[in-house]
Structure formats: C-alpha cells, structure tokens
Amino acid sequence: MNKPAAAPHAASPPLWRQLQVAARLVEQVRRGRSLSAQLAAVEASERPGVQALAFHALRWLGLSQALRGRLAARAPARRADALLCTALGLLAADEDPSYAPFTLVDQAVEAAKRDASARAAAPLINACLRRFLREREALLPDVTQADWLARWNHPRWWIDRLRADWPDAWQDILANAQYPAPMVLRVNARRSTTKAYARRLAAAGIEATLLGAQALRLVRPRPVRALPGFEAGDVSVQSAAAQKAAPLLLDGLDAAAPRILDACAAPGGKTAHLLELSPQARVVALEIDPERSRRITDNLIRLGLHAEVRVADAADTGAWWRGERYDAILLDAPCSASGIVRRHPDVRWLRRPSDIDSLAARQDRLLAALWPLLAPGGRLLYCTCSVFQAEGEQRIQTFVARHTKTVRQAAPGHLLPGAAGHESGLGDNGGCDDGFFYALLEKRPD
C-alpha cells in the first residue's frame, strides 16, 4: 500500500490539524463534492500536507470503511467517521509509515477532541485505532479476502465494468490506481530540447528521465516554482499520455498554417502543445466554463503563445461557429476521468453507473456536431482520459458506422495504465502514467 509523503515539519501545521482538515474533505467527497474544488479553498500553508492525507484516505477508503465496520458496532457521525477512516487508511499502510502508529492515534484523537462535530466520538476513535494496531495482522487479510471493496478500493460497478472491458488487465488497472502518478514535464519545443532541459534540471539537483521528444519524468515531484524556467514558459506539466495528442493530430497534416479547433480545451495544455509544435497554426480554443477558460489564457500567456479563446459549448455550434472549416479538430471529450484516478482519487467515489451512459451520449453529440465543421481531407482526433470502452472504442465504432466518409487512421486506441502488454505514455514508463483513448479520423474529400 502507498503512503502520503510527510510535509516538511518546520513549515507544516500540527498533524492533528492536517487530519482534521483532510477528514472534512473526505466527508465532503462522500457527499458528492469534488476534492479539487475543496483543496483550492484550503489555506496555502496547510494544503500540501492535507492533500497528501486526503489523497491517501480516498485511495484506501474501501479498505478503511471495511475495517471500521469490523472495529465499531455502528458508524459514528459523518465527520467522526471520516476522521476514523482517514486514520485507518494511514495505519493500514504496509510500507514504512510516515508517522509512528501511536503518534497517529494520539493526533487523530486530538483532532476529534478539537472538532465540535467529532468530539463525542473521540473515545470510540481511540478504541478502534488501538484495537486495529493490536489485531492488524489478522484483520487485514480477513477483510480484503471477504470484501471486494476493501480489496480493490473501487465501487463494485466500476470493478465489474473493468472486468467486462479488460478481462486480462483489470486487476493491473485497479492495482495501478492505488499509487501516485508521476510528475511529467513537457519541454517547450520553441525554447529548448529535452536533453538540454534535463541538464538544467540536473544542475538544479533535480533528477529526471527522458520519455520522448518533449517529455521528461521527474524521479520525485517538485513544486512547479522550483523548476528552472517555469515562469518564463520553458516547460509545462503534462502527463506523458496527454502529450500524445498534439503530435497525433499534426503529424502529416498538409497545411502551412492550419486552422485548428481545440474543443473542450481547458486547462489549455494540449492547446499550448499544438502551438509549440506548429507556430503558424491558427487555433480556436473552446471551453464552456468561463473560469476554466481563463486558465487557458493564463497558460498561453506564460508560454508566450496565442490562441483565440472562446467561452462556448462545443456541441452548440450555432452559438459560436463563424462558418470557417477546420483543417484539424481536437476533441478531448468530457468523460468519466476513469483513466486519471491516480491524480484524482475522489473520482471513483463521485461517479455513478448511470454517468457512463450519459457521458457516452454527450460524446456522441459532440462528435456529430463537430464533424461537419471539418474541411474535406481534414482530420479529427478524439480522445478521452477513460479506460472504459463505452467512452472509447465503442464511441468511435458507432460514429464510423454512421458516417460513411470517415477513414480511420493509425492511433493508439486505449492506453491502459499498469496493464501488461499495453503501452501507456511516451516510450516505456513502467505503467506509471494515465489511462487514455485516442482515435484519429480523416474526412474523405467530397
């Protein structure tokens, strides 16, 4: 099991306080709130430690809930239960712990005592945690063998869908989701090369490995402000799998100054990558959410790039399309995010089975709406950060069956993180990247 990295002691608030805030976030995820939105509201001094604790708690929430079920006759109130499960997730780690077990117990009890909504449960939390430490060796194998939620830490419907889609790889995918994703950089092709930037990193004492033409993976994650030239736009953070999009769309595109539509573009990583590789491209970037569209603009400004950013629903072409045909369209469609649960461990608990069908219908609408905007001979790259075939191969097969002028070009298809025999990212990254799907479609000339 994985453990959170301990934040630097000198700069961190006390552990009881971090546990208190992390438990509040876990409680809100259980109520259906996004963890990312909540973390943005956490005090900057508390955020690194709290994020590490919350991520760990959500990765192992199935196990900790099952353990709590064995240790307590009934669940305590919401906040106290979230605190108890957060502490159990930390204690259940089988690697070297970030905190001494009895220190963690003491601080979890202190967190309960200092929270009015959890104070009454402090004795129960203390008793459950101490009993777990006494019975750990017997409890863990018993719980994980008896309860699939405890073993895999994903909802049963999610596990069943993966088993149906990937009968030979589903266990690898689930196991891989339990560990933090690597930090991968994209070197700005207008400014430098991966080898040159790797030397800058080495000079700054930062270890990295080469992954591809623009990709570097850090041995240990670092704050972006610590990266040489980040503020100047020399480098960006972007997963290896996501870095496939721009080269796939641009490679072989026969246009000196291509007109490109980046639909559903926020936060702008793929938009920027397109412009880094094709400086003459005229890019329109769409985003339905005004706040997220500002992130596109901010990222482009930092990198010294320009695109026409429009706030619009890509599927509602009548509201934003100005009659131009595009040489290339990138459709990074809204999806379940099932391929990036390493980066967003709350996703597995927020999604519902019905979400997949509704998202698939939305993906179909986007494909149907954007295809007429593509010039004859042009290409559309469809991608999702999903490992579910309903949001990948099934969508493309359905679309091609309905559109006879479609030619499917070579593209990776499904990238499965941690699955034997499946590449995930640029080159061999040891199964340490995201799950993605890519399909490249070309429109036959009239």
CATH number of the domain that residue 222 is part of = 3.30.70.1170
Those residues whose C-beta lies under 8 Å from the C-beta of residue 152, and which sit 6 or more positions away, are 62, 159, 174
Structure confidence by residue, pLDDT tens digits, 307-334? 999 999 999 999 999 999 999 999 999 9
Structure confidence by residue, pLDDT tens digits, 433-444? 899 999 999 999
CA separation for the pair 350, 122 (Å, rounded):
28
**Is residue 172 included in any domain, yes or no?**
no
> Domain ends where: 237, 256, 272?
237
Residues labelled catalytic:
385
> Domain ends where: 114, 138, 153?
153
Tokens of 323: 């009659």
| DSSP H/E element including 443 | strand 436-443
The band of 1, judged by pLDDT with boundaries at 50, 70 and 90, is low
The band of 370, judged by pLDDT with boundaries at 50, 70 and 90, is very high
263 and 334 share one domain: yes
**Is residue 367 included in any domain, yes or no?**
yes
242 neighbors 214 (Cβ within 8 angstroms): no
Domain with 31 in it: 15-153
The band of 11, judged by pLDDT with boundaries at 50, 70 and 90, is low
**Is residue 390 included in any domain, yes or no?**
yes
228 and 269 share one domain: no
| Rg of the chain in Å (alpha carbons) | 23
CA separation for the pair 166, 147 (Å, rounded):
21
86 and 206 share one domain: no
Structure confidence by residue, pLDDT tens digits, 241-257? 999 999 999 998 988 89
**Is residue 348 included in any domain, yes or no?**
yes
275 and 354 share one domain: yes
Q: Where are the alpha helices (DSSP H) in 343-391?
A: 347-350, 353-370
- Predicted pLDDT at 256: 85
- 11-to-49, 74, 111, 336, 446 alpha-carbon distances in Å: 10, 38, 19, 36, 64
Tokens of 138: 């017997």
Domains contained in the chain, number: 3
Cis-peptide, bond into residue 267, ω within 30° of zero: yes
200 and 340 share one domain: no
The band of 12, judged by pLDDT with boundaries at 50, 70 and 90, is confident
437 neighbors 413 (Cβ within 8 angstroms): yes
182 neighbors 201 (Cβ within 8 angstroms): no
Tokens of 277: 């590789």
39 and 99 share one domain: yes
Q: Which residues pair with 184 in a beta bridge?
A: 217
Q: The dihedral of CA 434, 430, 163, 398: what is its sign?
A: positive
Those residues whose C-beta lies under 8 Å from the C-beta of residue 414, and which sit 6 or more positions away, are 387, 389, 392, 393, 422, 435, 436, 437
CA separation for the pair 427, 423 (Å, rounded):
7
236 neighbors 188 (Cβ within 8 angstroms): yes
226 and 249 share one domain: no
213 and 262 share one domain: no
217 and 263 share one domain: no
73 neighbors 17 (Cβ within 8 angstroms): no
- Predicted pLDDT at 277: 97
| pLDDT of 229 higher than 80 | yes
**Is residue 6 included in any domain, yes or no?**
no
| DSSP H/E element including 57 | helix 47-59
User: What is the mean predicted confidence (pLDDT) over 32-47?
Assistant: 95
**Is residue 282 included in any domain, yes or no?**
yes
Structure confidence by residue, pLDDT tens digits, 66-101? 999 999 999 999 999 999 999 999 999 765 567 899
| pLDDT of 4 higher than 90 | no
206 and 349 share one domain: no
CA separation for the pair 428, 181 (Å, rounded):
15
111 and 131 share one domain: yes
284 and 363 share one domain: yes
**Is residue 353 included in any domain, yes or no?**
yes
User: What is the mean predicted confidence (pLDDT) over 272-282?
Assistant: 97
Question: How does strand 436-443 pair with strand 326-332?
Answer: unpaired
The band of 164, judged by pLDDT with boundaries at 50, 70 and 90, is very high
Structure confidence by residue, pLDDT tens digits, 279-305? 999 999 999 999 999 999 999 999 999
pTM of the model: 0.93
CB-CB neighbours of 4 under 10 Å:
24
Tokens of 79: 């906040």
